[in-house]
Amino acid sequence: MEKIINKIAEEIGVKNTQVENAVKLIDEGNTIPFIARYRKEVTGGLSDEQLRVLGERLNYLRNLETRKEEVIKSIEEQGKLTDEILQNIAIAQTLADVEDIYRPYKQKKKTRATVAKAKGLEPLANIIFEQKEVTPIREIAKQYINIDKLSEEDRKNKDKVVNNEDEAIQGALDIIAENISDNANYRKKIKKICYREGIISTKASKDEKSNYEMYYDYQETVSKIPSHRILAINRGEKEEFLKVKIEKNEEKILDIIQKDILKGETQFTEMLKDTILDSFKRLIEPSIDREIRSDLTEKAEEKAIIVFGKNAKQLLLGAPIKGKTVMGFDPAYRTGCKIAVIDETGKVLDIATVYPTEPQNDVEGAKKELIRLIQKDNVDMIAIGNGTASRESEMFVSDMIKDLDKQINYAIVSEAGASVYSASKLASEEYPDINVSIRGAISIARRLQDPLAELVKIDPKAIGVGQYQHDVNQKRLSESLTGVVEDAVNKVGVDVNTATPSLLSYVSGINSSIAKNIVKYRDENGKLKNRKQLMKVPKLGKVAFEQCAGFLRIIDGDNPLEVTAVHPESYEATEKLLEKLGFKKEDLTNKEKVISLRESLKSVNILDTAKELNIGEMTLKDIIDELSKPGRDPREEMPKPILRQDVLKFEDLKEGMILTGTVRNVIDFGAFVDIGVKYDGLVHISEISDKFIKNPSDVISVGDIVKVKVIKIDSERKKVGLSMKV
């Protein structure tokens, strides 16, 4: 375990004690959000991102150690374990390295070599490989002809018969070829050459247009090919548009093996050279190509998952629009645009279907109905989904609001996953009496009001940010995104009296059945007045309470501290701090007192006060932050959605125009920015900053509001090139 802790500490650049303590907390069943927020003293302030990486590496390295033990046991049972094998297994860094060492001792399926061994040709293989015998090989091979020694029944079985000298020699060479292929040292050296000097080469496999035309005759070094190109090539190959090959220095590879095996010029030299070539072409190369492609894909997928996670987190933490009545507008053509009006609490006030788009084009009828609803329900803003017919719907809405006697803005909202949610069991439970098609409009409106609360209802993969998310390992993606959603939900905190079961289920320590029990308890007993009441919820015991309490908010409850992230275990210290400064917890409900308290908190000596209150310095800093802004929503510091009143058409764009846009997606090679036309513009990585940047996500995030310049317009393909070097 000490070795694992040292390795993880080195990889994430922290102290061994931090990793050791974090591992202990994880093993005790504490969740990542809880450890990151309430056990900072123990871990030295490791963030949720660091803790998730730590957890993943811990799992991998433990599996690696388990596999090493299994391999050692298996080789030992075969009576073939040596000090050298033990040493090689001990220093192996990856599961692939361990499997390479184990390869010669693995029970094989039927191969040419296993058949030859069954025929008793292994001694002949040893004679050829040792290259010492001076008797002509064909004379020696005669001793292995067994056709006359077998029973009539066995003679019918090709796998048992050696008919002549040629068959005996070929069988022996097959054994040598497999032994060469199983040599871990050769495989290690060949892989090194391929990673350093190998070239990924792609050719078209059919003569037709596709999204993969840039790869129809393409080459790039294995060491430099970026992850998005690996995933694109994989997809092109899967869809049978591309043939993919790893080109390598074959001469150099064969030379390495020959120098190790050949012992001067003998009668065996040429046959061994041919066997080395056969071993490489037939056994080693296909296997190593698969391993390298698999390794490149795994790393590319991991990067894509990280990018997806970052984008999803930013989207989830998008600034809410609070205290507004919103009209959700789900655009469509033939079936009509679905409308849902939602009040500031998320309650559905009205629903409707209008037909301002093709083929009905009932613009006047639609305008009349929407104006009626806006006036009746006192609508403050309109959220338009960005799917099919979005641009036509935006033009209609923009034109309609000019006829209103009050100012109303609209925002374009991503509707990714809305249709998935609409037809889900969860949506049926939430809106049993509302048609599936209308539920999408409700979701669109609620996404503007509170992106987090709405988006947690959707499978994170359907959120629609990232690249190649359907091509990557789905189990790994799902695990990663669940962690991202957990971190986002726990960062914001959840109002226990209004949260849906889907939102509550992401809170630290709460699973879906406890989440349902909380809602049921709330429905039967009324609003919770304090966090202690959570202990009365079925299945929510002491452990779950410790994990979840600090993340659940109780507005207008018995204890003003419970609108903050201060954990119940710190209530006593917090009240002593307030008393020391001349305040009491009830003052947190008074705006003027809070302003005065904020000033007093600035003068607190962290070191001395932490000792006095017998709490950690990091915990004290967190308490001070919470008391400075009781009940604050960290999302309020995020960029607000762009609210529009007029439409910008694609035809209006001109090179050199400066526009304001919202970053919709960040990928390896740049970012897509919504500038208010139907098609998002691409800011290539080279146009993000004057300085060199390795990853776009180091500079920009989903939801950022950015100024961009139009630098390229492709009218035919409806593509816009943008630059942030304004």
User: For the domain that residue 37 is a member of, what is the CATH number?
Assistant: 1.10.10.650
- Residue 316, classed as helix, strand or coil, is helix
Each residue of 465-512: pLDDT tens digit? Answer: 666 777 888 888 888 888 989 999 999 999 999 898 989 999 999 999
Q: Helices 184-197 and 250-261: crossing angle, nearest 10°?
A: 160
Residue 361's nearest CA partner among 389, 403, 327 is: 389
**pLDDT (0 to 100) of residue 30:** 95
Show the tokens assigned to 235: 């997809």
Residues 330 and 440 in one domain: yes
Q: Is residue 509 part of a domain?
A: no
pTM beyond 0.85: no
Instruction: Specify if 705 maps to a domain.
Output: yes
Query: At residue 122, what is the residue type?
Result: E
| Residue 337 confidence (pLDDT) above 80 | yes
Residue that wins the pLDDT comparison between 663 and 417: 663
The candidate with the shortest Cα–Cα distance to 128, out of 181, 162, 76, 165, is: 165
Domain boundary among 449, 467, 487: 449
Whether residue 116 contacts residue 172, with contact meaning beta carbons closer than 8 Å, is answered with yes
119 plus 53 within the same structural domain: no
CB neighbourhood size of 195 (10 A): 14
Domain end (from 56, 89, 122): 89
Within 10 angstroms of residue 487's Cβ, the number of other Cβ atoms is: 25
Classify the phi-psi angles of 689: left when phi > 0, otherwise alpha if psi is within -120 to 50, otherwise beta.
Answer: beta
Residues shown for the chain:
726
Percent of the chain with pLDDT over 70: 99
3-state DSSP of 187-242: HHHHHHHHHHHCEEEEEECCCCCCCCHHHCEEEEECCCCCHHHHHHHHHHHHCCCE
Same domain, 65 and 15: yes
Average pLDDT over residues 426-438: 87
Q: What element of type H or E holds 142?
A: helix 137-142
Looking up tokens 């400075």 gives 628
- One domain for residues 55 and 151: no
Structure confidence at residue 306 as a pLDDT band (50, 70, 90)? confident
Angle between helices 16-27 and 48-77 (to 10 degrees): 80
Domain co-membership, 48 together with 18: yes
Structurally, how many domains does the chain consist of? 4
C-alpha to C-alpha distance for 231 and 469, rounded to whole angstroms = 10
Per the structure, the complete domain to which residue 42 belongs is given by: 2-89
Beta bridge partners of residue 385, listed in sequence order: 413
* C-alpha dist (Å) from residue 327 to 27, 356, 385, 446, 524: 47, 16, 11, 9, 32
Question: Residue 703: what pLDDT?
Answer: 83
The confidence score (pLDDT) of residue 342 equals 94
Give the CATH number, domain containing residue 332. 3.30.420.140
Mean pLDDT of 176-192: 94
Residue 236: partners with Cβ closer than 8 Å, 6 or more residues away = 202, 210, 211, 212, 215, 242
Average pLDDT over the chain reads 91
pLDDT digits (tens, 9 = 90+) for 128-148: 999 998 899 999 999 999 888
Start-to-end CA distance of the chain, whole Å, equals 52
Euclidean distance between CA atoms 488 and 486, whole angstroms = 5
Q: Is 435 a residue whose pLDDT tops 90?
A: no
Q: What is the DSSP string of 40-79?
A: HHHHTS--HHHHHHHHHHHHHHHHHHHHHHHHHHHHHHTT
Find, among 164, 116, 137, 114, the residue nearest to 269 by Cα: 137
Judge if 178 and 146 occupy the same domain: yes
- Is residue 83 scored above 90 in pLDDT? yes
Whole-Å CA distances, 76 to 69, 80, 180, 644: 10, 6, 22, 72
Q: Is residue 68 part of a domain?
A: yes
Give residue-wise pLDDT tens across range 254-302: 999 999 999 989 999 999 999 999 999 999 999 999 999 999 999 999 8
Contact 553, 499 (CB under 8 A): no
* Average pLDDT over every residue of 617-633: 93
Amino acid at 280: F
- Can you read off the two tokens belonging to residue 420? 């998935």
**Residue 282 gets which letter from DSSP?**
I
Closest CA to 168 of 137, 130, 135, 132: 137
Q: Does residue 157 sit in the same domain as residue 77? A: no
More confident residue, 549 or 147: 549
pLDDT band, very low/low/confident/very high, at 657 (cuts 50, 70, 90): confident
Nearest-5° angle of CA 588, CA 591, CA 593?
Answer: 65
Q: In whole angstroms, what is the distance from residue 40 CA to residue 250 CA?
A: 54
Give pLDDT, residue 647.
Answer: 67
Same domain, 678 and 708: yes
Other beta carbons within 10 angstroms of residue 314's beta carbon come to 22
Question: Residue 443 in contact with residue 272, Cβ under 8 Å?
Answer: no
Instruction: Let me know if residue 459 belongs to a domain.
Output: no
Please compute the mean of the pLDDT values over residues 55-70 and round it to a whole number: 94
Of 165, 182, 199, which residue constitutes the final position of a domain? Answer: 182
Q: Please give the structure tokens belonging to residue 380.
A: 């403050």
Residue 40 and residue 75 in one domain? yes
Q: Please check whether residues 333 and 444 belong to one and the same domain.
A: yes
Task: Give the count of beta carbons closer than 10 Å to the beta carbon of residue 321.
Answer: 21
Query: Does any domain span residue 28?
Result: yes
Q: Residue 657: inside a domain, yes or no?
A: yes
Q: Which residues contact 666 (CB under 8 A, 6 or more apart)?
A: 307, 310, 311, 465, 696, 697, 700, 701, 702
- Reference 711, options 689, 687, 690; nearest CA is 687
Considering only 96-110, 391-405, 466-480, 554-568, which range has the smallest mean pLDDT?
A: 466-480
Same domain, 375 and 431: yes
**137 located within any domain:** yes
- The residues that bridge with 705 in the sheet, in sequence order, are 662
Same domain, 437 and 409: yes
User: What is the helix (H) or strand (E) element at residue 201, kind and residue range?
Assistant: strand 199-204
Kindly state the tokens that stand for 186: 């050769």
* Spatial separation of the C-alpha atoms in residues 52 and 54, rounded to whole Å: 5
Mean pLDDT (whole number) for 595-610? 94
Is the pLDDT assigned to residue 433 strictly greater than 80?
yes
pLDDT in tens, 673-722: 988 777 788 999 999 998 888 888 888 888 888 889 999 998 888 889 99
Residue 227 lies in a domain: no
- Residues 324-344 have a mean pLDDT of 94
Percent of the chain with pLDDT over 90: 67
CA–CA separation, 431 and 457 (whole Å): 13
Q: What integer pLDDT is reported at residue 153 of this predicted model?
A: 80
**At how many degrees (to 10) do helices 122-130 and 269-278 cross?**
110
